[in-house]
Amino acid sequence: MNGWAESYDIVVIGSGSAGFAAAMTAADAGLTAVICESTDKWGGSSAMSGGGMWLPNNPLMKADGAGDSREEALAYLEATVGDAGVSTSRARREAFVDSVDDFVTTAQKYGMLLARGADYPDYYPERPGGKIGRALECEPFDAHAIGEWWASSRGQDGVAFAVKTDDVWLLARAWSTASGMARGARVVGRMLGGAVKRQQLVACGAGLMSSFLQIVVLDQGTPLWLSSPLEELVVDSGRVVGVVVTRGGVATRVEARRGVVLAGGGFDYNDAWRQQYTGVKAGWSSGSKGNLGHPLEVAMAAGADVGVSVEFMEDAWWGGSVPAAEAGGQPMFIVGERSMPFSIMVDAAGSRFANESESYVDLGHHMLGHPVQGPFWLIADAHHAHRYLRTYALDPRANKAMKAAGIMHSAGSLAELAASIGADATTLRATVDRFNGFARAGIDGDFGRGNSAYDRYYGDPSVRPNPNLAPIEKAPFTALRVVPGDLGTKGGVVTDEHARALRADGSVIEGLYAAGNNSATVMGHTYPGPGSTIGPAVVFGLRAVRHMAAS
């Protein structure tokens, strides 16, 4: 077929973790690649995230003697994910677990500095095969190393400083426990050390994606085209052989001799699709605003199975979020704050409805499935504010805006607080009294909060007998509105164990692959552990290219 403006072995659509993993693997296999990003910023939702990667039985665990195995990892995935559809098949789960070593060793070979979140548990650690310490993340990275590319990083919308995911659980109690204070001192020391060396240290997703960019773009020489959205897949005799992207305002035909990898994120901010599939508005997502689902539309036009099976299109990586106080603002995904003592979550009537400390995807499902209509609230007393670092309350200007928008309320009594948020005062009082009794006994008789090691990870060990439970009794009392937000959508192109796109009849679309949130997730309706979005994204990005290289 003639008329190609550019020609590569592999065309990668999207510049998140799945796309960069695919491009890194292409260079490792001696293949050429180009990354096409639809927006003027690279890094996608991965750059805005915590940057953790859930990678069971990984080489760092083995080096530490942490005691994981292929069999335990698969048993855990069977117990948590199970067989929820084509995308969660046994073959796909095995492919994920079996390629963890390949991804980690390849990334390390090219200079990525990885560290274990040794204390971070799986989200269901008591289930068969559950473990603590399966997550990996990047060490803090000097953004100066990527030069002018940092200016266009979407990481600036995330955690653009040197706090690692493994720091957060202790920093939250930096002024209430000795361990928290010690970790705070370590983080301050890290930042000061970077400043002395004139480094601009970034961590979490910003650090991960900056490290990826240094490897793929600067060291391996792979082109990264910004503002180059996918318009069409070029198909010849049933095989995808290239793409049409808009570059510099011009439709550009790019040959993909081995194949195309769709890694352009979900449909987080496609409001029409969100309403159609999830029923939750786009403005509550913490994903990249560039995730509009267009690569999925293009894939569907080429025959990919998205709209027929609708596999996980109704689902997302849910979690309680604080809505933005201003139109167009980014919501704040909250994790540790709802697990800390001296707090509960209630529905619009003033009743508890779930274990506040549970996995965020479970909490999201409970919010969405709750029969009581209306807003949800995180209720806390003065101890919660005085003892813990709460990410949503760090900026006084943001607090003022949230109060003005009716998102944050404060009152001298529970009755006044109930009136302020529109809840029934008698119900809220009874809910708090019942919870306070559980807190004193150390056992949550309604929802089992504090029973799991995952719950206790974000608890306060100085609070006894249960680190997640403490009475709510000291004024002033606060209420923070919480909505069912998300980290991105779960539905997408249905793929096999090689990340090849499938038609509705199960046949393979030759030359078309998908990974990350452009693909229906291998994790099904759940979230097995920290980094269960990025872990499979990088692994299946790698697997797609390994398959192309072997073809």
Instruction: Give the span between the Cα atoms of 349 and 343, in whole angstroms.
Output: 17
- Of the three residues 486, 504, 536, the one that is the final residue of a domain is 486
Same domain, 362 and 480: yes
Instruction: Count the domains in the chain.
Output: 3
Exposure string (b/e) for 215-254, b if CB count within 10 Å is 16 or more? bbbeeeebebbbbbbbeebbbeeeebbbbbbebeeeebbb
- Whether 293 maps to a domain, the answer reads yes
Same domain, 245 and 295: yes
- Whether 520 maps to a domain, the answer reads yes
Same domain, 498 and 449: no
* pLDDT recorded at residue 460: 94
- Structural domain of residue 178, as residue ranges? 162-202
Contact 469, 453 (CB under 8 A): no
Instruction: Give the span between the Cα atoms of 164 and 348, in whole angstroms.
Output: 35
Same domain, 322 and 281: no
- Of the three residues 434, 453, 486, the one that is the final residue of a domain is 486
- Whether 157 maps to a domain, the answer reads no
Q: Dig out the tokens for 414 from the structure.
A: 């529970």
- Sign, CA dihedral 27-28-31-34, equals negative
- Whether 191 maps to a domain, the answer reads yes
pLDDT tens digits in sequence order for the chain, 551 residues long: 469 999 999 999 999 999 999 999 999 999 999 999 999 999 999 999 999 999 999 999 999 999 899 999 999 999 999 998 899 999 999 999 999 999 999 999 999 999 999 899 999 999 999 999 999 999 999 999 999 999 999 998 876 678 888 888 777 888 788 887 888 788 778 877 877 888 889 999 999 999 999 999 999 999 999 999 999 999 999 999 999 999 999 999 999 999 999 999 999 999 999 999 998 988 899 999 999 999 999 999 998 876 555 678 999 999 999 999 988 888 999 999 999 999 999 999 999 999 999 999 999 999 999 999 899 999 999 999 999 988 888 788 888 999 999 999 999 999 999 999 999 999 999 999 999 999 999 999 999 999 999 999 999 999 999 999 999 999 999 999 999 999 999 999 999 999 999 998 999 999 999 999 999 999 999 999 999 999 999 999 999 999 999 98
Same domain, 326 and 475: yes
- Of the three residues 469, 486, 503, the one that is the final residue of a domain is 486
Same domain, 323 and 453: yes
- Whether 154 maps to a domain, the answer reads no
Same domain, 326 and 242: no
63, containing H or E segment: helix 59-64
Instruction: Give the span between the Cα atoms of 253 and 52, in whole angstroms.
Output: 35
- Sign, CA dihedral 513-539-142-285, equals positive
Same domain, 166 and 244: no
Residue 527's CATH number: 3.50.50.60
* pLDDT recorded at residue 421: 97
Question: Which of 354, 388, 291 lies closest to 45, judged by CA?
Answer: 291
Same domain, 101 and 242: yes
Same domain, 406 and 471: yes
Contact 47, 158 (CB under 8 A): yes
Same domain, 242 and 130: yes
Same domain, 75 and 23: yes
User: Taking the CA atoms of the chain, what radius of gyration do you get in angstroms?
Assistant: 23
- Whether 139 maps to a domain, the answer reads yes
Residue 449's CATH number: 3.90.700.10
- Whether 155 maps to a domain, the answer reads no
Which are the contacts of 507, defined by CB distance < 8 A and separation ≥ 6?
none
Contact 243, 513 (CB under 8 A): no
C-alpha pair distances (Å), 414 with each of 351, 388, 420, 423, 436: 13, 21, 10, 10, 13
Q: Tokens 């060490």 sit at which residue?
A: 139
Instruction: Give the span between the Cα atoms of 376 and 422, in whole angstroms.
Output: 11
- Whether 364 maps to a domain, the answer reads yes
Q: How many CB atoms lie within 10 A of CB 80?
A: 23
